[in-house]
């Protein structure tokens, strides 16, 4: 498996995802919609597994490789939300976001090396990256939903806000898992749980910001504040994920360079 | 949105704490945590916990104490920590920096008064939330109770245990016993055990060949990974074929020819055949990254381009270490990155080696870390992991499908 084959796997996956999204909109039975969407995710996962085997290491080392996981988990998050709450638009959203990240990967192909530095050869490497990518996908989904609710002409209903809460709870739970796994890994590798590396600093800011949302949710009724906080938190997440690669204060200061 | 008085009051409190911290920073300089060394860190921590319990039980009698435990205090302390971490993230952390930001402590946030005071405030509101959880345990979500508890323990252990942490770098020479190292502050430290490096071993990845551009002083993005004889790749219009690859090789000073050699200082070498895909021009010759014994070799393709091999990347390296404890016990460890050795409260980490000699290194650099609060933080982190799992499993689980709006 090589990076050049991504376009074929992605095309097949996107066809399945789009079919699932269209079926959801047309009110087709849930099993049809879900099967189609999951088939797309399975095809995409097949590519990831193929890369894993070809590279002889988990494809999680480079930014492009993390984008693969992001696209995959977004599709899964979309299906999970659809199965749980039957929102017919969510599959279109998750497909759109997955496609955006696939396009970035196609337009910015990377050179892949089999090398994996000793610090990354840890039992924590795979779960740490996977739970973070899943968390990012959930937060991406809730951000899109919050934007949709915020920009339309009428207020969100209680049920719609509860969807935001639940997505944030799931996303925050996974952010927590990722952060703690990172801390346990760091202790094994370097002797410190936490070193305020720029990546860690922005991960902490992101985690705290979503935590603030969870804490004010029951007390603040103003929807503008809630939606603004969700979007602000997602901006912090972007800074944590790849923004620090461009941030002057973080240049040469982070061990999380990829 | 108009901000309620409770929020205004709570955020003004944070602003005042920040201002007080900044004033202390200007007057006293960085906050030195040496006063938290054992037993003082533990004594202060116990007193702090006692104070929190006191506040918890007295908060209904004193309004201002109650204001430390209310929702506004929780929100404001969280908000303050977000602001501080963002400030932290936007400012380059450099202990040697000078100027206004440095005077205010922003370039050394972990030792700045403002950051630590607000962190203590956040710890206090979290601690009071833990006590509140314990008082009303049945009405609370399990995930919230576990999270509050775990975050509080991590913060208390992190703050009050910070003075106890000792990191000592030790350079061990093969066959030579040592029990001295250098702390982060540059002081010589005697260790409670003796270390002897029995053997240093390293495994490396396959050699990679790049095309260098001498005019622009750049290297190609693409490379040829020589995992087997016959490996091919096209780089910058040249088809490179690795016809012969030697893992350990050397050459005589007056010769360009490499031959297999089992000797200290042997270097990897690859015989490369290159063909220009446009002009058909062909070149061939040995390419090697060299070693501390041999000079590197390049294959020049034209006036500008040359095939080169950078030093091979380390795949694994380990130090076989013999440790003699104060009790005279002999222990043997294989210390690797991600696999530290453990001796009581000490852990020994593989840090580095003689990069000039690479796989032939006869020394190993290890870091001995003493962390008396390790267990407390470790247990808290696993509790936090459990909290994350519980939160995921219980999120949205209280609603029935029938209630859902389609």
> What pTM value is reported for the model?
0.90
Using CB atoms, which residue from B75, B92, B340 is nearest to A249? Answer: B92
> What is the structure's pLDDT at B1?
53
Q: Which residue has better confidence, B121 or A88? A: B121
Residue from A189, A33, A193 nearest B339 by CA: A189
pLDDT at residue number B353: 96
Which of A205, A235, A240 has the highest number of chain B CBs within 10 A, making it the mutation to test binding with B? A205
Question: Quick one: which H or E segment has residue B281?
Answer: none
CB-based contact A185:A122 (threshold 8 Å): yes
Q: Is the pLDDT of residue B216 over 90?
A: no
pLDDT at A81: 83
Q: Which residues of A touch B315 (CB under 8 A)?
A: 115-116, 118
A residues 70-89 lying closer than 8 A (beta carbon) to B: 84-88
Beta bridge partners of B178: B195
| B78–A212 C-beta distance less than 8 A | yes
d(CA A154, CA A184): 45
Q: For chain A, where are the alpha helices, taking DSSP H only? A: 6-25, 30-55, 63-85, 90-107, 125-151, 158-190, 198-216, 223-241
Average pLDDT of span A225-240: 97
CA distance B286 to chain A (A): 23
Strand partners, B365: B171, B352
**CA pair distance B106, B93, nearest whole angstrom:** 8
B337 against A252, higher pLDDT: B337
- The Cα of B221 is separated from the nearest Cα of chain A by a number of Å equal to 7
- Of A60-69, B43-52, B73-82, B371-380, the one with minimum mean pLDDT is A60-69
Q: Determine if residue B237 is left, alpha or beta; phi over 0 gives left, psi from -120 to 50 gives alpha, anything else beta.
A: left
Percent of chain A's residues with pLDDT above 90:
73
Cα gap B11→B79, rounded to integer Å: 8
Alpha-carbon distance of A135 to A138, in angstroms, equals 5
pLDDT attached to residue B397 = 58
Answer whether the bond into residue B227 is a cis peptide, omega within 30°.
no
For A42-90, what is each residue's pLDDT tens digit?
999 999 999 999 999 999 988 889 899 999 999 998 998 888 878 888 8
pLDDT digits (tens, 9 = 90+) for B255-287: 889 999 988 999 999 999 999 999 999 999 999
List of chain B residues whose C-beta atoms are within 8 Å of the C-beta of residue A28: none
Query: Is A156 an 8 Å CB contact of chain B?
Result: no
Q: What number of other Cβ atoms are within 10 A of residue A194's Cβ?
A: 18
Q: Which residues in chain A touch residue B367, judged by CB atoms under 8 angstroms apart?
A: 191
C-beta of residue A43 within 8 angstroms of C-beta of residue A16: yes
In B, residues 162-221, which contact A (CB 8 Å cutoff)? Answer: 167, 205-206, 208, 221
Q: Three-state DSSP class for B261?
A: coil
**pLDDT at residue A257 greater than cutoff 90:** no
Smallest Cα distance from B340 to chain A, Å: 7
For residue B118, the surrounding DSSP H or E stretch is: helix B113-135
E strands, B117-187, where? 166-173, 177-183
Residues B142-174 pLDDT 10s:
999 999 999 999 999 999 999 889 999 999 999
- Is B315's CB within 8 Å of A249's CB? no
Q: What is the largest CA-CA distance in chain A?
A: 55
CA–CA gap between residue B196 and residue B260 (Å, rounded) = 32
Closest approach of B68 to chain A, Cα-based (Å): 16
Identify the band that residue B399 occupies on the pLDDT scale cut at 50, 70 and 90. very low
- pLDDT tens for each residue of A173-220: 999 999 999 999 999 999 999 999 999 999 999 999 999 999 999 898
For residues A249-253, average pLDDT: 83
- CB neighbours of A205 closer than 8 A, spacing ≥ 6? A236, A239, A240, B82, B85, B86, B89
The SS3 call for residue B209 is: strand
The answer to whether B336 contacts A118, with C-beta atoms less than 8 Å apart, is yes
How many Cβ pairs within 8 Å bridge chains A and B? Answer: 149
């Amino acid at each position: 498996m090589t990076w050049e084959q991504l376009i074929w796997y992605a095309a097949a996956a996107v066809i399945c995802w789009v079919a699932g999204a269209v079926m959801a909109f047309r009110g087709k039975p849930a099993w049809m919609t879900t099967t189609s969407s999951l088939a797309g995710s399975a095809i995409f996962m097949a590519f990831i597994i193929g890369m894993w085997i070809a590279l002889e290491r988990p494809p999680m080392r480079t930014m492009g490789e993390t984008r693969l996981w992001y696209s995959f988990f977004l599709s899964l998050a979309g299906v999970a939300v659809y199965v749980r709450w039957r929102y017919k638009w969510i599959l279109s959203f998750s497909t759109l976001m997955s496609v955006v990240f696939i396009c970035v990967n196609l337009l910015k192909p990377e050179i892949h090396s089999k090398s994996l530095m000793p610090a990354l050869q840890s039992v924590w490497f795979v779960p740490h990256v996977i739970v973070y990518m899943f968390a990012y996908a959930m937060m991406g989904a809730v951000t899109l939903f919050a934007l949709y609710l915020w920009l339309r002409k009428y207020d969100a209903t209680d049920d719609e806000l509860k969807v935001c809460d639940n997505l944030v709870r799931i996303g925050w739970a996974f952010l927590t898992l990722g952060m703690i796994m990172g801390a346990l890994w760091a202790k094994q590798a370097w002797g410190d749980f936490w070193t305020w590396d720029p990546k860690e600093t922005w991960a902490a800011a992101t985690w705290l910001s979503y935590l603030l949302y969870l804490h004010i949710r029951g007390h603040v009724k103003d929807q503008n504040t809630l939606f603004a906080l969700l979007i602000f938190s997602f901006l912090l997440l972007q800074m944590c994920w790849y923004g620090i690669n461009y941030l002057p204060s973080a240049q040469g200061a982070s061990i999380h360079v990829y | 949105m108009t901000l309620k008085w409770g929020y205004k009051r709570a955020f003004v409190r944070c602003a005042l704490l920040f201002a007080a911290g900044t004033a202390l920073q200007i007057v006293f300089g960085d906050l030195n945590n040496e006063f938290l060394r054992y037993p003082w860190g533990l004594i202060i921590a116990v007193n702090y916990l006692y104070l929190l319990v006191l506040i918890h039980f007295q908060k209904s009698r004193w309004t201002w104490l109650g204001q430390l435990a209310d929702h506004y205090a929780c929100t404001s302390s969280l908000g303050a920590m977000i602001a501080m971490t963002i400030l932290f993230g936007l400012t380059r952390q450099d202990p040697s920096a000078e100027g206004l930001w440095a005077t205010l402590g922003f370039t050394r946030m972990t030792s700045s008064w403002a950051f630590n005071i607000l962190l203590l405030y956040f710890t206090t509101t979290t601690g009071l939330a833990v006590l509140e959880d314990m008082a009303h345990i049945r009405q609370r979500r399990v995930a919230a109770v576990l999270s509050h508890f775990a975050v509080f323990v991590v913060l208390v252990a992190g703050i009050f245990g910070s003075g106890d942490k000792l990191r000592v770098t030790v350079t061990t020479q093969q066959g030579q016993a040592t029990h001295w190292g250098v702390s982060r502050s540059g002081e010589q430290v005697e260790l409670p055990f003796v270390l002897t490096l029995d053997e240093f071993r390293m495994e490396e990845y396959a050699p990679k060949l790049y095309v260098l551009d001498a005019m622009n002083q750049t290297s190609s993005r693409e490379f040829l990974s020589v995992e087997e004889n016959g490996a091919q790749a096209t780089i910058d219009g040249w088809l490179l074929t690795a016809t012969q690859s030697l893992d350990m090789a050397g050459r005589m000073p007056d010769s360009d020819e490499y031959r297999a050699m089992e000797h200290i200082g042997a270097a990897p070498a690859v015989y490369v055949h290159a063909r220009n895909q446009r002009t058909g021009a062909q070149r061939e010759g040995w390419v090697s990254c060299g070693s501390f014994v041999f000079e590197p070799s390049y294959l020049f393709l034209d006036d500008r381009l040359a095939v080169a091999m950078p030093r091979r990347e380390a795949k694994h390296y380990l130090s076989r270490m013999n440790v003699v404890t104060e009790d005279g016990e002999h222990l043997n460890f294989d210390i690797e990155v991600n696999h530290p050795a453990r001796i009581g409260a000490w852990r020994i980490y593989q840090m580095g080696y003689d990069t000039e000699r690479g796989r032939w290194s006869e020394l190993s650099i290890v870091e001995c870390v003493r962390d008396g609060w390790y267990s407390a933080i470790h247990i808290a982190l696993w509790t936090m992991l459990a909290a994350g799992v519980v939160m995921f499993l219980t999120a949205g689980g209280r609603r029935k499908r029938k209630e859902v709006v389609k």
